[in-house]
Structure 1
């Protein structure tokens, strides 16, 4: 299973858009039962994070920052790419096709590398997630809080939504990414162990 990747779209260039396009905003807003109210909120407060429901337009797989970045790196370097990806308060949010939050845990439970995958959070039907602002920048409250707080609570898009119907990975693709990220972490730990401890410097 761990070497198999479903036949899915592949984009060779890792996107670096820091903000959401109008089409991307329409797609995000469509997750809400009141999309026009969401768009009005964004128009008046473009630098404030928003809360959107999951389960109909998208699910979200929520991973620790380092492991989530490893997943994203594998998706773009050796896989089909990803859907939108956000960073929020030390976590990585991977937007996935509806139903992924329900299926991925059981698929991961059968995988031999599951023990090396840190605890993930699965947001599906009945859940909601906080997403970054559409555009980079900080709210007045964040600016008043100072640089230290901003650094620890950064909220931004790594792969910003830019079309009305973005491709979203399903549970099979994200299972593949989890396994590859877990293998990467294991290989790095093994290499560190082989190098041994760094000898202490002594003075004569």
Structure 2
């Protein structure tokens, strides 16, 4: 090989080395922007960036119990306290002793939620009554002596596991007649803590 040939071969080798170096510098590294496919070692799981946990704002706050809400009517077993109007069939199957009656209804002249009877001028006697709890008719007695006269302005009555109080008896809803309905409330209290108030009318007379 003469001197000119040797110089030409050296120039070719230097040019190839310079091109390889430039190509390496221009190639993006794995994981850098512009690298279309990230190289993952065989058998290794790809890295996962955990998502940021959002911070709830005031509009998504968890509601709290309203302290002004009325007390629930359910008792210890979770059931509602339900009184059902007495039907004609219900009344035909019960016997209430007494000369005159008082009844509580949710509308003037409507069916009775409770019906009680007692004797007039019976200072030592107690009125008897009937009430329909759900679908069952129960009978009981007034919790105070005095018969019919003692319940003209309301009163307390008791049966198995239930106490009924007729209270806030007002003026007659209409004038005239022997048995004018009077505005009143019926408080029903069950032995397991359930209670409920019914608004309506207390009617006493023949």
TM-score by length of 2: 0.21
Larger RCO (CA within 8 A; separation ≥ 6): 1
TM-score by length of 1: 0.21
Structure of higher CA gyration radius: 2
Q: Give the helix-richer structure, 1 or 2.
A: 1
